[in-house]
Amino acid sequence: MKPDTTGLDWATFPERRRHELLLTVQPADLDDLHHVNNVTYLAWCEAVARAHAARLGLDTPALVALGAVPVAREHAVTYLRPALLGDTVRVRTFLTGHAGFRSVRQYVIDRVSPGPEARLVECRTDWVWVDPVSGRPKRTPPEVGTGFGLTRA
């Protein structure tokens, strides 16, 4: 397996700031070259981020009620090797930064079967918090920082 270039150690990263999903590659995930399409990896990153927020009671309706929602500002994706039909992949996210209007998530996607584990993708997303009505940038509500274990109550 390729060394983790994200510098994140899953085992020691605080539980409230991390989440993972296991997925099996489906026919709809594939492109014309018969491997997972590049946009599918990004969709998986969004899915694990949403699942993480929901697990902590901070899904979209909860965030709208708090008056601020995250929108993607920038994605940086490094594709290392392809996933194929039937592969089981693990998608992990780490909430690594949070200040004012911005948050940062990093993701790693690994094939866990068949065969030995292999790093497939590393991704980073910069998020900007906005008012859900006006769309204008807005400071993150304190409940978000507390909920994700980024600040103390």
Residues whose CB is less than 8 angstroms from the CB of residue 19 and which lie 6 or more positions away in sequence, other chains included? 48, 49, 51, 52, 55, 92, 93
Q: What pLDDT does residue 152 have?
A: 65
Percent of the chain past pLDDT 90, that is, above it, reads 81
Contact 58, 94 (CB under 8 A): no
Question: Radius of gyration over alpha carbons of the chain, in Å?
Answer: 16
Q: What pLDDT does residue 153 have?
A: 59
Instruction: Kindly report the pTM of this predicted structure.
Output: 0.90
Residue 82 clears pLDDT 80, i.e. is over it: yes
What tokens appear for 124 in the block? Answer: 């980073």
Check the CA dihedral 133-145-46-107 and report its sign: positive
Q: What pLDDT does residue 4 have?
A: 53
For residue 49, which amino acid is it? A
Question: 10-147 sits in which CATH class?
Answer: alpha beta
Residue 2 pLDDT grade (very low, low, confident, very high; cuts 50, 70, 90): very low
Highest-pLDDT range among 4-8, 11-15, 141-145: 141-145
CA distance 112 to 17: 22
